[in-house]
Amino acid sequence: MSLVDDQSPKAPTFRGALMVQGTTSDAGKSTLVAGLCRLFSRQNINVAPFKPQNMALNSAVTVDDGEIGRAQALQAIACGLAPHTDFNPVLLKPSSDTGAQVIIHGKALTTLEAKAFFGPESHGYKTLALAAVMQSYRRLQQQYSLVVIEGAGSPAEINLREGDIANMGFAEVADCPVIIIADIDKGGVFAHLVGTLALLSPSEQARVRGFVINRFRGDISLLQPGIDWLEAYTNKPVLGVLPYLHDLHLDAEDALIDTPKNSLSTALSASQRLSVLVLVYPRISNHTDFDPLRLHPHIDFHYVSMQTMAQSSHWPAADLVILPGSKNVRADLAFVREQGWDIALKKHLRYGGKVVGICGGYQMLGELIDDPLGIEDSAGCSDGLGLLPITTVLTASKTLTQVRGHLRLQDQQAEFSGYEIHCGESSLTQSDVIQPLSIEHYAQQPMAITKLDGMVSNDQQILATYVHGLFDHPAACQLILQWAGLDSRHAIDINQIREQQLNRLADVLEAHLDMNTLKGIIS
Indicate which residues carry an active-site annotation: 359, 468
Contact 301, 444 (CB under 8 A): no
From CA 481, how far away is CA 489, in angstroms rounded? 10
From CA 319, how far away is CA 483, in angstroms rounded? 11
CA angle 437, 438, 442 (to 5 degrees): 110
SS3 88: coil
Element (H, E) at 382: strand 380-383
Contact 61, 151 (CB under 8 A): no
From CA 168, how far away is CA 484, in angstroms rounded? 49
Q: How many Cα atoms are found within 13 Å in the side-chain-facing hemisphere of 218?
A: 10
User: Which one, of 82, 453, 413, 179, lies nearest residue 72 by Cα?
Assistant: 82
From CA 202, how far away is CA 208, in angstroms rounded? 10
User: Which one, of 53, 41, 35, lies nearest residue 11 by Cα?
Assistant: 41
Strand order from edge to edge, sheet including 320-323: 299-304, 274-279, 320-323, 354-358, 462-465, 455-456
Residue 130's CB is within 10 A of a number of other CB atoms, namely 20
From CA 407, how far away is CA 428, in angstroms rounded? 19
Q: What is the phi/psi pair of residue 8, to 5°?
A: -80, 145
From CA 250, how far away is CA 30, in angstroms rounded? 10
- 501 to 77, 117, 247, 266, 509: CA distances (angstroms): 12, 36, 9, 21, 12
From CA 152, how far away is CA 30, in angstroms rounded? 9
SS3 66: coil
